[in-house]
Amino acid sequence: MSILFSEHAKTFHLYNQEISYIMTVLPNGHMGQLYFGKRVHHREDFSYLYETAQRPMSSCVYEDDDILSDGYSLSLEHVKQEYGVYGTTDFRRPAVEILQPNGSRICDFKYKRHEIMGGKPGLAGLPATYTEDGGEAETLRLILEDSLTGVILELLYTIFVRGGILARSAKITNEGKEALHLTTAMSLCMDLPDYDYEWLQFSGAWARERHLKVRKLEQGIQAVDSRRGHSSHEHNPFIVLKRPSADEFQGEVIGFSLIYSGNFLAQAEVDTHDTTRVLLGIHPMGFDWKLERGESFQTPEAVMVYSQQGLNGMSQTFHRLYQKRLARGYWRDRERPILNNNWEATYFDFTEDRLVEIAEKAKECGVELFVLDDGWFGERSSDHAGLGDWAANTERLPRGITGLAERIEELGMKFGLWFEPEMVNEDSDLYRAHPDWILSTPERSASQGRNQYVLDFSRKEVVDCIYEMMAKILSEAKVSYIKWDMNRSITECYSKVLPPDRQGEVFHRYILGVYDLYERLNTAFPRLLFESCASGGGRFDPGILYYAPQGWASDDSDAIERLRIQYGTSFCYPISSIGSHVSVTPNHQVFRNTPLSTRANVAYFGTFGYELDLNKLTEEEQKIVKEQIVFMKKYRKLLQFGTFYRLLSPFEGNLTCWMVVSEDQKEAVIGWYRTLSHSNLPFARVRLHGLNPDFCYEEQNTLETHFGDELMNIGLITSDGMSGQVEGCTGEYGDFDSRLYILKALPQNERKD
């Protein structure tokens, strides 16, 4: 790995064993993009990659011909750039835009100097990937200046030793004499030389998050975004560009991920000369950050991953990075506890004794963590009251959270608790004391969602108040886990303490307040396990993963619906981050009846838990649950931290299949799922991946043995009516069928023919 600078050619070459990223100082002093892709040999002069030509009726000349020695005029419209600016011969959407006192938005950022350093600097107040020693990565800081305004632009590039990873961000500092308004500040601008890509996005709505959508890039603009104040159920801050010939296992793929939890824009603009500009960052709509003299603005971090091993190769790189160098703390590398959440078991109708009764049965079945969800605080008997009053309702919990936690601990389990710290009900003591603490526009009505308002987390005193209430409970009671919920989008985004010319900062300041509260709680209670939630998957993004190593993937817990949700989520996010539970049938979201085995066989590929009252199951079902928990404990490390492969897509057919392989390739678990049964089915097999071709594997249910190369090239036979019972199979082949195949490598020369 290295970052090399050629003084003569003014080129930078960032490379490791897998990728090269090459850029240059253009003749006008701007930064130009030359190449991003598979590693190439270094050379002192890559200037041949810089191409320019006059184009009749479309080229506006930058300054004059004197800046070039080849006789061509420089038009930025036809040059690939690192951080494009609109209006100075470039008509594409810009990476940065600054409103100046005279009304102009034109900037002219020219290269001044650069720094190369080992390791990776942090981003103040923002989540970001990190290194644990200076040898894991190198970082390039480019310093550019707009001489007229005195604004300094710092572009940060970090290349990691392992994987096709490049992390990018930008910092804008006003070193001029007058205040300015930053109206666009993207984290990443990437100009690609062609548009021969398919665009993948991960979209949906509440209870059907992160469904894969694929279409061909074409001339014009293609984008996904959120303007809801959070990353949203509708779109995820993650897109993929892949070559049309690329698939899950081969071909060129580039993934773009934003480590941020608020409003975002992910966009690809293809011009009429077939080049593609990718922009990723905070959504510029409504964004306006005032920069006084000496003030700076730091953008969130964006991560690009390049893979020649197809979509699975890209995903596995993201998984390793986000699991080990984005998630942090005590729980980063630890197997996650199997939990039982009471929400779908009781909703608001519970007493302390009722909760303990549920927990006792859970303990008997092998559950390790009992979680009390909504309804334990204030006057909370429905979703109309109590939010913001974070003190136990003693009518339900006579000894408060402390007393209930002690009873759960006495059972030999850990105790977890639900909070929704960013919200307040109108019917609450907090709102009555501080009605001005909500986000709302003066002299206009304030909208409610789920009968609640959004607290103004851009205000320090609001965050301080919520922190003190939460910290008091966590200091007094034995709480090991927090489910942090957020159940509505932001409307009327206006802060009563900011002046009119800073109202465009509220959305971002709100997210900074959320991050600050997370950081303070993580610091004060370092062994606390956080699970993020926003009506399920409404804020399932890398920004939150920095503070909470797992997230509730969706409020839809139906196993068949979860096939698509978890499959789509896996394109970017590690399996250890995906909250997945077994719930009752008929399912509370789609009213579908699915076998208990299938519900578990889907939920295994995540953090795993139960969203029901186990007392209400039959004795036979309880026996099955105990077996499921034994299985999960046995294979939990492999399932949560192994290498994950997608094999058959639920977006393409009736079957879904995925697998996870241990680092040493000696164990693998394959999940196979069929949505609907059909008569007289053909023979079927699935080609596996990630195994050692020379290892002989024994399938633990049938005791059949096959070499790894057989299973990867010929395939695993999945035809109905195979000999032997398969663990996890319903026993009756029908709708919503599923199976687990467990492979273990035999000691050398122990093949059983």
pLDDT digits (tens, 9 = 90+) for 311-335: 999 999 999 999 999 999 999 999 9
Dihedral (Cα; 555, 557, 563, 569), 10-degree rounding: 30
**Cα 470 to Cα 77, 399, 567, distances in angstroms:** 53, 17, 35
Q: How far is CA 197 from the centre of its chain?
A: 23
Q: Distance between CA atoms of 331 and 309, rounded to whole angstroms?
A: 30
Report the DSSP beta bridge partners of residue 339: 369, 609
- Kindly list the domain boundaries of the chain, sorted by start residue: 81-325, 655-745
User: 81-325 and 655-745 share one CATH topology?
Assistant: no
What span, in angstroms and rounded, lies between the C-alpha atoms of 229 and 576?
26
| pLDDT attached to residue 62 | 65
Q: pLDDT-based confidence at 67, cuts 50/70/90?
A: low
Surface-to-core class of residue 401, CB atoms within 10 Å of its CB (0-12 exposed, 13-18 middle, 19+ buried): buried
**What per-residue confidence (pLDDT) applies to 65?**
44
Specify the pLDDT at position 57: 66
Q: Cα 108 to chain center, whole Å?
A: 34
Determine what percent of the chain is predicted with pLDDT higher than 90: 92
Interval 256-269: pLDDT, tens: 999 999 999 999 99
What distance, in Å, lies between the first and last C-alpha atoms of the chain?
Answer: 46
Is the pLDDT at 250 greater than 50? The verdict is yes
Which CATH architecture fits 655-745?
Sandwich (2.60)
Could you tell me which residue, 58 or 257, shows the higher pLDDT?
Answer: 257
Mean pLDDT of 26-37: 96
pLDDT at residue 753 is higher than 70: no
- Give the model's pLDDT for residue 147: 96
Rounded distance, CA 80 to CA 454, Å? 42
Distance CA 620, CA 618 (A): 5
Find the angle CA(575)-CA(127)-CA(565) to the nearest 5 degrees. 30
Mean pLDDT, residues 567-594 taken together:
97
pLDDT average, residue stretch 8-37? 97
**Residues of the chain with pLDDT > 70: what percent?**
95
Tell me, yes or no, if the pTM score tops 0.85.
yes
Query: 19-25 and 11-15: which strand pairing?
Result: antiparallel
**Beta carbons of 300 and 192 less than 8 angstroms apart:** no
List beta partners, residue 166.
Answer: 159, 304
> Which of 22-26, 76-80, 158-162, 521-525 is predicted least confidently?
76-80
The C-alpha angle with vertex 247 and arms to 244 and 248, in degrees rounded to 5, equals 155
Look up residue 546 and give its DSSP letter. Answer: T
Identity at 145, one-letter amino acid code: E
Arithmetic mean of pLDDT over the chain: 95
The pLDDT of residue 101: 96
Active site residues: 485, 555
Mean pLDDT, residues 109-114 taken together: 98
- Output the six-digit token pair for 350: 């519970």
- Asked if the model's pLDDT at residue 718 lies above 50, the reply is yes
Q: What DSSP character marks residue 193?
A: S
Q: Cα–chain-centroid distance for residue 640? A: 16
- Residue in 658, 637, 690 with CA at minimum distance from that of residue 568: 658
Distance of CA 708 to the CA centre of its chain: 32
Closest by CA to 744, choosing from 663, 665, 628, is 665
Mean pLDDT of 465-475: 98
Classify the C-alpha dihedral 113-119-122-123 as positive or negative: positive
pLDDT band at 78 (very low <50, low <70, confident <90, very high): confident
In 335-421 the beta strands, taken as DSSP E runs, fall at 339-341, 369-372, 414-419
Per DSSP, 527 falls in state T
At residue 225, the 3 state secondary structure works out as: strand
Collapsed DSSP state (helix, strand, coil) of residue 100? coil
Confidence label for 728 from pLDDT (cuts 50, 70 and 90):
very low
Produce one character per residue of 613-652: b if its CB has 16 or more CB atoms within 10 Å, e if not. Answer: bbeebeeeebebbeebbebbeebbebbbbbbbbbbbbbee
Task: Please give the CATH number for the structural domain made up of 81-325.
Answer: 2.70.98.60
- HSE on the CB side for 252, CA within 13 Å? 10
Residue spans of beta strands (DSSP E) within 464-576 = 481-484, 529-532, 550-552
